[in-house]
Structure 1
Amino acid sequence: MWFKNLYLYRLHDQPQLDAGALQAALSEQAIRPLGGSERRSMGWMPPTGGASTSLLHELQGQRLITAVRFERLLPSDVVREEVEERAVEIEQREGRKLRRQERQELKEQVVEELLPRSHIKRQRIDVWWDTNRSLLAVNTGSRKRAEEALDLLRETLGSLKVTPLATQTLPMRAMTEWLAQPYRRPSGLLLGDKVELKAKGDDGVVRGRQVDLDSDDMQRLLETGRQASQLALEIESVMSFVLHDDLTIKSIRFSDALLDEAGEIEDDGDAIVRLEADFLLMTRALGASIESLISWMGGEANLASASKGAVA
């Protein structure tokens, strides 16, 4: 249940749906098995898996919904080898070379035959909807997958106006200042041991892992004009993470204290109680952390201008 990566979005004109109406809408887009010739499909599944049929969990204004993506994996080299074997057999039998169109038709036939027997990749994508903050967050490591989940939610609701969360101070500038000027770091914000620095020109990217970010070597790199595009940070007693220059939060690790607090909650082996307890603790920590990051970077970017670029 504990999220690892977050793509953050601001909701504009937040849909006013109660839990019952949202549950009904999600049911219309529930995941279904792939048909024999279908390559991929996407729909909603219960966040608890088989422990419940509910597609929505809502506690104190925090909503959890889960998308699942099915995709058939048919490697191109498998198709190519099968096409080649059949083409050789036909050419030897008929004593002629197959035309390009015939090879294309043969390839389509091979794909049609092999696709129903191919492996199906299943990918879960959790969506956190904070109705108190009009915030959407998608737990995935890929911007493309996050947008696919939002597209599914948009199709489910009929419309959804969102923009990527943005701050007055660009994350790259804020991270660079925190690195170069320790006295400007917010109280309670600690540096980790991972960084990615980009040059303004074509000097490439410098990446450091398990390094002292307050070292003289790091300061010399910053003096050349490089800027931090990724930076490992820790909000004391809450969580550690890597902040990216698009305000994506990745590699999240929650503090031992928070996990211990979750572990002390009695669930009597009930998967639903466990999920909801963890979800509520996690969203409290994430919500407060996101608010702190926004504040540390000068507040949120102008909502009026941002909403003009919102996708409905």
Structure 2
Amino acid sequence: MWFKHLHLYRLHGMQLLSPEQTAMLLEEHAAKPLGNADARRMGWTAPAGRLGGGQLLHTLQNDGHRLLSALRQERLLPAPVVAEEVAERVADIEAREGRKVTRKEKTALKEQVTEELLPRAFVRSQKIDLWWDTERNLIGVNASSRARAEDVLDLLRETLGSLKATPLSSQTLPIRAMTTWLGDPASRPADLQLLDGVELKAKGDDGVVRARQVDLDSDEMQQLLESGRQASKLGLSIEGQLSFVMHDDLALKSLRFGDALIEEADHADDGDDALARLETDFVLMAGCLRDSVARILEWLDGENQQEPAAQGDGHV
């Protein structure tokens, strides 16, 4: 269950419910099989799976960490399949009735075909984990994209009835900090290491430069920076703790936890119990993520703590 990606959100004005109250609400929004007419659906599922007894919420009481998992189900109905069936029906109507099918009729046919084929489409399921640091009012979603992360937050908002969450932001923009670290080795924090992989964006319309397995301190890299390009993605490491690719929106991708942490998890005595294994991994991972996020914010001169103007309970 080790996270591969992390989209971070700050919670505002959150009235924390007890684990028992939260678990009851999660049950009310638990994942259910897709109905024949459903194109997609999201609900909560057990982080440890069926072998974990179906428990929807895992809580570390002493540290305030919570773990939840959303299940996103979606029927796969390829657009070319629908288009082909619509084309056949249009051709049949035009041949039988000797007239051209109107655009409005084609739209209605497309809706009819989609409705008929949807129950027979394959279902793709995706489990998306959510880490909730209740002591620091911080949420991290293990999703490959911001859109998927916000889908999970929307489900949590619906479950709790109210949730005001905004993307975590820093005093110094990540793109500015990453560009500075690339251009000036002396500016790099002592425990920050540059890793392989960088993406440079131009201010104008000159495209993107992506580089791997290159010397980030080379003259060529410095020339790119001097031409006005900025680092929008950069491989970084907190020495001995966590490595990742930082994006310009403060998303952390391609997470790799330190070898010592993984070895500690591997050597834990869980008796091959799926629930015990998950909770051991979660204890270690949550502690690492809490420390790492705090350290990254220090690199970026602290958090931008100005709460946005109230706009309901949605994202702002």
User: What is the deviation of 1:205?
Assistant: 1.6
Higher alpha-carbon deviation: 142-151 or 104-113: 104-113
Alignment of 1:248-263 (within 5 A): 248-263=251-266
**Aligned partner letter, 2:217:** D
User: What is the deviation of 1:98?
Assistant: 3.0
Preserved CA contact (<8 Å) 2:30 2:45: yes
Alignment of 1:208-219 (within 5 A): 208-219=211-222
1:41 corresponds to: 41
Preserved CA contact (<8 Å) 1:262 1:278: yes
**CA distance in structure 2 between the aligned counterparts of 1:268 and 1:113, rounded to whole angstroms:** 49
Is 1:205 the counterpart of 2:208 in the alignment? yes
**Aligned partner letter, 2:163:** L
Alignment of 1:55-66 (within 5 A): 55-59=56-60, 60-66=63-69
RMSD: 1.4
Secondary structure, aligned partner of 1:221: helix
**Aligned partner letter, 1:206:** V
Equivalent residue in structure 2 for 1:68, among 63, 68, 71: 71
1:28 corresponds to: 28
Secondary structure, aligned partner of 1:113: helix
Any idea what the Cα deviations from partners look like across 1:89-110, whole Å, max 9, x if unmatched?
Answer: 3333344433333333332222
**Aligned partner letter, 2:309:** K
**CA distance in structure 1 between the aligned counterparts of 2:108 and 2:203, rounded to whole angstroms:** 49
Is 1:229 the counterpart of 2:232 in the alignment? yes
Preserved CA contact (<8 Å) 2:12 2:307: no
Secondary structure, aligned partner of 1:308: coil
**CA distance in structure 1 between the aligned counterparts of 2:289 and 2:124, rounded to whole angstroms:** 29
Secondary structure, aligned partner of 2:89: helix
Secondary structure, aligned partner of 1:288: helix
1:102 corresponds to: 105
Any idea what the Cα deviations from partners look like across 1:11-32, whole Å, max 9, x if unmatched?
Answer: 1122221110000011111111
Secondary structure, aligned partner of 1:9: strand
Higher alpha-carbon deviation: 215-224 or 282-291: 215-224
> Is the alpha carbon distance of 1:169 and 1:99 closer, same or farther for their aligned partners in structure 2, counting shifts above 3 Å?
closer
Preserved CA contact (<8 Å) 1:191 1:234: yes
**Aligned partner letter, 1:2:** W
Is 1:266 the counterpart of 2:279 in the alignment? no
Preserved CA contact (<8 Å) 1:195 1:231: yes
Equivalent residue in structure 2 for 1:195, among 198, 208, 215: 198
Unaligned runs of 5+ in 1: none
Higher alpha-carbon deviation: 244-253 or 219-228: 219-228
**CA distance in structure 2 between the aligned counterparts of 1:278 and 1:85, rounded to whole angstroms:** 54
**Aligned partner letter, 2:72:** R
User: What is the deviation of 1:68?
Assistant: 1.0
Preserved CA contact (<8 Å) 1:41 1:69: yes
Alignment of 1:11-22 (within 5 A): 11-22=11-22
**CA distance in structure 2 between the aligned counterparts of 1:151 and 1:50, rounded to whole angstroms:** 25
Preserved CA contact (<8 Å) 1:163 1:311: no
Unaligned runs of 5+ in 2: none
Equivalent residue in structure 2 for 1:138, among 127, 138, 141: 141
Secondary structure, aligned partner of 1:121: strand
TM-score (norm: length of structure 1): 0.95
Report the identity percentage.
57
1:85 corresponds to: 88
Number of residues of Structure 1 aligned to a counterpart in Structure 2: 310
**Aligned partner letter, 1:49:** G
> Is the alpha carbon distance of 1:49 and 1:259 closer, same or farther for their aligned partners in structure 2, counting shifts above 3 Å?
same
User: What is the deviation of 1:311?
Assistant: 5.4
**CA distance in structure 1 between the aligned counterparts of 2:19 and 2:300, rounded to whole angstroms:** 34
**Aligned partner letter, 2:59:** E
Any idea what the Cα deviations from partners look like across 1:241-293, whole Å, max 9, x if unmatched?
Answer: 00011111001111222111110101111000000100110111111111001
Any idea what the Cα deviations from partners look like across 1:206-226, whole Å, max 9, x if unmatched?
Answer: 111121111121111111222
TM-score (norm: length of structure 2): 0.94
Preserved CA contact (<8 Å) 2:195 2:236: yes
